[in-house]
Structure 1
């Protein structure tokens, strides 16, 4: 899909959230729970208006970046060769924001399905989607594991992202399982940190090995 065409889906996401808000607004309390700690306890509230406007702004910005970033990529780091993968990932992130916002509204309105969403289930699915496409990303400044060693060497980039793809998939499975079982979110946080940090450290050692062989 071309970046410009993705704007239609971005607009659809915005209209869906707005429509859900208008439908649920009579059932919403004066303050809506919008944030939970690692133990699953509520530690943040917002007005219903703020709870819907904030994610709408985030989705709108992501939709615009989907079009803008491929256009401004510098020579040698163009997004164009893998633009369809980039668009899918950006749309997946927007869908994640949409589903999370819908879950927050449904949870506040007393619908049981909202509890699954607020326990990071959508985040687990997003991690698996990103992991599935991670290996198809090519060297760029905007998406992927961008360390000094992946940016300067194509082989390091490719090997790091192959590993990252598997780790993101595994972390996503852990987050989904933890969400469905109702276990402590600390397991999810640990899995996500590992998926983010291990590839970054790995890229350094791969770089050293590649440079020695050259």
Structure 2
């Protein structure tokens, strides 16, 4: 067994866990299952239980395949520079998606989401993790804050991602806290507001930083 395959085995195992879990619950699932809940945790859409197979595939499997392919098709070949950090990021993303897939399967089987805000807490954790890795992501066309200005200038890329790292970390923590202390309807508004901030503010920052460098030149 080569070293590359040996390193990938733990992640492959994580990818397979939701399939094992779905197989274990399959005979307990009703033919019609809830496939969507509103912000109050009420079921507002139903579907065939076979849709869960596609869901389990799309979340961990597709995420893993994309993370495998990105370094190979990246024209700048910068992912290799990240070394172990890229592997850790891949591990964290696949773990998150696998956990989310199992939560969806469990909720479909029980036909209820006891705490709808739990999903927001999960997303908050993912944002914190992503923010933690922003500082080590090298300029590329697939991951990070990809604006015309970050892709044009390495200094702008680095500065923007250092700034975004702190913003995403704080934003993720606020989303996690809000998920446990805010009512569902208020938490949804706060969640969308924070997501808007952590997406738009770094983009604006990259433009301002780029123009500042242009002025100095």
TM-score band w.r.t. shorter chain: 0.7 to 0.9
Correspondence 1:54-133 to 2 at 5 A: 54-75=55-76, 77-110=77-110, 115=115, 119-133=119-133
Contact 1:120 1:179 in 2 (8 A): yes
The corresponding residue for 2:195 is 192
Unpaired stretches in structure 2, ≥5 consecutive residues: none
The corresponding residue for 1:162 is 162
For residues 122 and 29 of structure 2, the distance between their equivalents in structure 1, rounded to whole angstroms, comes to 22
For residues 102 and 82 of structure 2, the distance between their equivalents in structure 1, rounded to whole angstroms, comes to 30
User: How far did residue 50 of structure 1 move?
Assistant: 1.2
Q: TM-score, normalised by structure 2?
A: 0.84
Spell out, residue by residue over 1:27-76, the C-alpha distance to the aligned partner (whole angstroms, 9 max, x if none).
Answer: 3233333333445444443333212332323422322222222122224x
Contact 1:4 1:67 in 2 (8 A): no
SS of 1:34 mapped into structure 2: strand
Q: Aligned pair in 2 of structure 1 residues 99, 58: CA closer, same or farther (>3 Å)?
A: closer
Which stretch of structure 1 is more off in the superposition, 166-175 or 66-75? Answer: 66-75
Cα RMSD (Å): 2.6
How many residue pairs were aligned?
Answer: 212
Does residue 1:204 correspond to 2:207, yes or no? Answer: yes
Q: TM-score, normalised by structure 1?
A: 0.85
Which stretch of structure 1 is more off in the superposition, 156-165 or 51-60? Answer: 51-60
Unpaired stretches in structure 1, ≥5 consecutive residues: none
Q: Aligned pair in 2 of structure 1 residues 121, 94: CA closer, same or farther (>3 Å)?
A: same
User: How far did residue 122 of structure 1 move?
Assistant: 1.5
For residues 201 and 165 of structure 2, the distance between their equivalents in structure 1, rounded to whole angstroms, comes to 12
User: How far did residue 79 of structure 1 move?
Assistant: 1.3
